[in-house]
Amino acid sequence: MKYIRVTEARHIGDYKVLIRFNDNTEQTIDFGPFLYEHPHPQYNRYRDLALFKTFTVEMGNLVWGENWDLIFPVEELHRGILKA
């Protein structure tokens, strides 16, 4: 069984990120609604666009922060779904 992994991510405007996966598919995800509607105040700092853009791809995941402060299940990103 092949696991879906993020291979590349690129900021394309506002809170939108183009994400490429190891199965040669891609999704454009708008993280804005999540950042403004979630019930988790610890993520509010990523509303700062400069900080939002600091995401990295590590071990097949799209992550924010040195300690992976913000991370989403890769399967959800692959389907284009974000859950608060």
- Other residues' Cβ atoms within 10 Å of the Cβ of residue 75: 10
Two tokens at 43? 């993520």
Is the torsion defined by CA of 49, 54, 57, 61 positive or negative?
Answer: negative
Condensed to tens digits (0 to 9), the pLDDT of residues 36-81 reads: 998 889 999 999 999 999 999 999 999 999 899 999 999 999 999 8
Give the tokens for residue 75: 């399967």
pLDDT of residue 40: 86
pLDDT in tens, 2-12: 899 999 999 99
User: Is 6-79 a CATH 3.30.2020 domain?
Assistant: yes
Enumerate the domain spans of the chain. Answer: 6-79
pLDDT at 1: 54
Rounded distance, CA 42 to CA 55, Å?
A: 16
